[in-house]
């Protein structure tokens, strides 16, 4: 072997080994889009409890354990640390020492790490990840929470993450609501991948979720929706959407770029729907379901009464 080639070969070998550990994916280029994700090691993206899914409301089962959540730090404007362009999405880093989620049928307390968004292309091309009876919303917001007793390095347990999903529905207003006008005003400061801007004391997570009844949600077990698609997520998808005006939604797909400002804007950063594979989606028992149950019970009691009276 040519001795001069050895350093070159070593460098190649090292770069191969290193790149195997990194997770390089994209949404819109053939060489790295979702069709290639199952080849990214470790191979979770072709698993059997993947996300997102279409929620078929007729198949949702009632679960009385899906009680109200307890949200800590969601009304505190010091918990949003900075807003980042990741090249795949817009991510807001949270202070996980101050923010957490418990209750809501979760078995543990989960610390809130970050939230980010998925969108289509302008408000005309929807981009939520989950759908309900085939309906796709304009955008989806994911608040990512990690179980307090789990370290990220060992986050391979089936309930290590609790992600809260919120649909964003487009309205014909402009500049509304104020909290979203405030949040989206920072997008122009992070046009390139890796750009980051401090947004402490500007707004609260609660203010971004106004109009959502957080006691009404769907629950199922799924995965991260980006590689390496680990099947470690307890999913909560809230039924009510956050209503945001079209002009603000449009800013996501015409302000932040996938890399430099010479590269395309980030658009359609949502994963295709995944197979349910026998999983069950649950939700709170509806009042109509309990009324129906009560009617049945009364009818049965009456039948018994008549039956025994006849004897
Ligand atoms: Zn997400």
What's the CA-to-centroid distance between 15 and ligand 1, angstroms?
Answer: 29
Measured in whole angstroms, the distance separating CA 4 from the mean position of its chain's CA atoms is 50
Is the CB of residue 205 less than 8 Å from the CB of residue 113? no
Helical ranges in 22-89 per DSSP H: none
Cα of 140 from ligand 1 centre, angstroms: 8
pLDDT score of 297: 60
Q: What is the pLDDT of residue 123?
A: 78
138: tokens are 């304009």
Instruction: Of 63, 56, 43, give the one whose Cα is nearest residue 231.
Output: 43
Report CA(164)–ligand 1 centroid distance (Å).
9
Q: How far away, in angstroms, is 59 Cα from ligand 1 center?
A: 24
Give the whole-angstrom CA distance, residue 107 versus residue 105. 6
Distance 302 CA to ligand 1 centre (A): 52
CA 78 to ligand 1 center in whole angstroms? 23
Q: From the CB of residue 247, how many other CB atoms can be counted at a distance below 10 Å?
A: 17
Q: How far is the CA of 64 from the centre of ligand 1 (A)?
A: 27
117 alpha carbon – ligand 1 mean position (Å): 6
CA of 306 to the centre of ligand 1 (A): 57
Which residue carries 């796709």 as its tokens? 136
Instruction: Please list, in sequence order, all residues whose beta carbon lies within 8 angstroms of the beta carbon of residue 252, skipping any fewer than 6 positions away.
Output: 90, 117, 119, 139, 184, 187, 266
Q: Answer whether the bond into residue 228 is a cis peptide, omega within 30°.
A: yes
Q: Which residues are placed with Cβ below 5 angstroms of ligand 1, an ion?
A: 142
CATH class for the region spanning 36-283: alpha beta
Compute the distance from residue 229 Cα to the ligand 1 centre, in Å: 11
Confidence (pLDDT) at 195: 98
pLDDT, residue 293, reads: 54
Residue 66 Cα to ligand 1 midpoint, Å, equals 22
The SS3 of residue 88 is coil
> How confident is the model at residue 305, as a pLDDT?
58
* Dist CA 140 CA 252 (whole Å): 12
Q: Say what the pLDDT of residue 306 is.
A: 57
pTM, to two decimals: 0.86
Going from the Cα of 142 to the center of ligand 1, the distance in angstroms, rounded, reads 5
Query: Which pair of structure tokens corresponds to residue 199?
Result: 């947004």
- C-alpha 8 to ligand 1 mean position (Å): 39
pLDDT tens-digit map of 84-116: 999 999 999 999 999 999 999 999 999 999 999
- Measured in angstroms, how far is the CA atom of residue 98 from the centroid of ligand 1? 21
Compute the distance from residue 58 Cα to the ligand 1 centre, in Å: 25
**Residue 191 alpha carbon to ligand 1 centre in Å:** 20
DSSP secondary structure letter of residue 72: E
Q: Kindly give the parts of the chain with pLDDT less than 50.
A: 1-22
């Amino acid at each position: 072997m040519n001795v001069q080639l050895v350093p070159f070969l070593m460098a190649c070998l090292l770069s191969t080994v290193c790149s195997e550990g990194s997770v390089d994916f994209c949404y819109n280029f053939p060489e790295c889009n979702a069709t290639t994700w199952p080849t990214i090691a470790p191979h979770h993206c072709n698993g059997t409890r993947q996300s997102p899914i279409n929620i078929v409301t007729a198949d949702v089962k009632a679960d009385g354990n899906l009680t109200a959540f307890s949200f800590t730090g969601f009304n505190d404007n010091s918990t949003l640390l900075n807003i980042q362009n990741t090249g795949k999405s817009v991510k807001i880093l949270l202070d996980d020492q101050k923010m957490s989620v418990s209750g809501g049928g979760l078995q543990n307390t989960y610390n809130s790490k970050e939230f980010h968004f998925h969108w289509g292309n302008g408000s005309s091309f929807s981009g939520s990840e989950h759908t309900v009876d085939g309906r796709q919303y304009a955008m989806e917001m994911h608040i990512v929470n990690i179980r307090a007793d789990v370290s990220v390095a060992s986050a391979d347990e089936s309930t290590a993450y609790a992600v809260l999903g919120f649909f964003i529905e487009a309205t014909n207003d402009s500049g509304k609501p104020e909290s979203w006008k405030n949040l989206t005003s920072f997008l122009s400061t992070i046009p390139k991948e890796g750009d980051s801007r401090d947004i402490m004391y500007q707004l609260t997570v609660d203010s971004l979720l106004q109009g959502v009844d957080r006691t009404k949600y769907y629950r199922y077990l799924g995965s991260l929706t980006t590689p390496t698609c680990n099947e470690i997520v307890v999913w909560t998808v809230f039924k009510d959407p956050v209503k945001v005006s079209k002009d603000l939604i449009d800013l996501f797909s015409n302000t932040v770029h996938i890399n430099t400002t010479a590269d395309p804007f980030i658009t359609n950063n949502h994963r295709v729907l995944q197979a349910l594979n026998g999983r069950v989606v649950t939700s709170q028992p509806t009042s109509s379901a309990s009324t129906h149950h009560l009617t049945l019970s009364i009818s049965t009691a009456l039948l018994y009464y008549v039956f025994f009276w006849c004897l």
